[in-house]
A and B are shown apart, each in its own frame.
Chain A
Amino acid sequence: QSALTQPPSASGSPGQSVTISCTGTSSDVGAYKYVSWYQHHPGKVPKVMIYEVNKRPSGVPDRFSGSKSGNTASLTISGLQAEDEADYYCSSYGGTSNFVIFGGGTKLTVL
């Protein structure tokens, strides 16, 4: 099971926008609508920020948005805030033999 590919790091200044990519294959990201994004602050529990490519759970600010094109999904955070500094992980459904695949994670730094 190969992990989805994310850039190891990303950064932006407060108020700016940043986009994190997540590249899979035609067997996972490209095949299904089930792409999720998690925010993980060190020492805390991961929190789902986006599910089914572009849907936000209740309570997640609309500064967070998701999209997908082909085998690549993206998370965009607009109006960056200091508290957005965290690790971000994408995940995708990969079929019944590969149910959940995580990306390697992206460390977001708010400058």
Chain B
Amino acid sequence: QLQLQESGPGLVKPSETLSLTCAVSGASITNNYYYWGCVRQAPGQGLEWIGNIYYTGTTYYNPSLKSRLTMSLDTSKSQFSLKLSSVTAADTAIYYCARTRDNSGVDFDYWGQGTLVTVSS
């Protein structure tokens, strides 16, 4: 059974970089049938797609976050990660890791439980 587990800092200071790691178990992260992605939900707000990464390392980012965002794969550890730089309070959210249903890469069928990241000094 596929499982995704987010690990994040919990608290990040404004202007610093948020680093989130998503550990994948129960499936191969190098399977060419899926994308791996991140979605967030700010308090009281809706879902916001952050980005997707394919097993080749090809990335697709939310245009509104692209200038601050880097996603990467570590196949040796079966995990993928995101780094979001220059964070502000607006980046406070529950961050979810997820896997797409197929190689269209556009909908997610497996999700991690999510981790709350708060941006505050």
Q: Which residues of A contact B37 (CB under 8 A)?
A: 100
B64, B106, B111: the one within 8 Å of A45 (CB) = B111
B63, B96, B111: the one within 8 Å of A97 (CB) = B63
Is the C-beta of A14 less than 8 angstroms from some C-beta in chain B?
no
Q: Are B64 and A91 in contact (CB under 8 A)?
A: no
Nearest neighbor of A38 in chain B, beta-carbon distance:
B47
Q: Are B104 and A96 in contact (CB under 8 A)?
A: no
Query: Smallest Cβ distance from A7 to chain B, in angstroms?
Result: 13
Q: Are A46 and B108 in contact (CB under 8 A)?
A: yes
Per-residue contact bits, chain B 31-45, to A (CB 8 Å; 1 contact, 0 not): 000000101000000
Q: Which of B29-75 contact A (CB under 8 A)?
A: 37, 39, 46-49, 51-52, 60, 62-64
Q: Using known A-B contacts A45-B111, A57-B101, A91-B107, determine if residue A98 contacts B63 with beta carbons closer than 8 Å.
A: yes
Q: Are B106 and A34 in contact (CB under 8 A)?
A: yes
Q: Are A99 and B46 in contact (CB under 8 A)?
A: no
Nearest neighbor of A36 in chain B, beta-carbon distance:
B107
Query: Smallest Cβ distance from A42 to chain B, in angstroms?
Result: 10
Is the C-beta of A103 less than 8 angstroms from some C-beta in chain B?
yes
Instruction: For the complex, give the distance between the alpha carbons of A3 and B104 in Å.
Output: 20
Q: Which residues of A contact B52 (CB under 8 A)?
A: 99-100
Query: Smallest Cβ distance from A43 to chain B, in angstroms?
Result: 10
Q: Which residues of B contact A89 (CB under 8 A)?
A: 46-47
Q: List 13 A-B contacts (CB under 8 A).
A: A1-B63, A45-B112, A45-B114, A46-B39, A46-B47, A46-B108, A46-B111, A51-B107, A89-B46, A99-B52, A100-B107, A102-B39, A102-B46
Q: Chain A residues in contact with chain B, CB under 8 A?
A: 1, 3, 34, 36, 38, 40, 45-46, 48, 51, 57, 87, 89, 91-93, 96-105
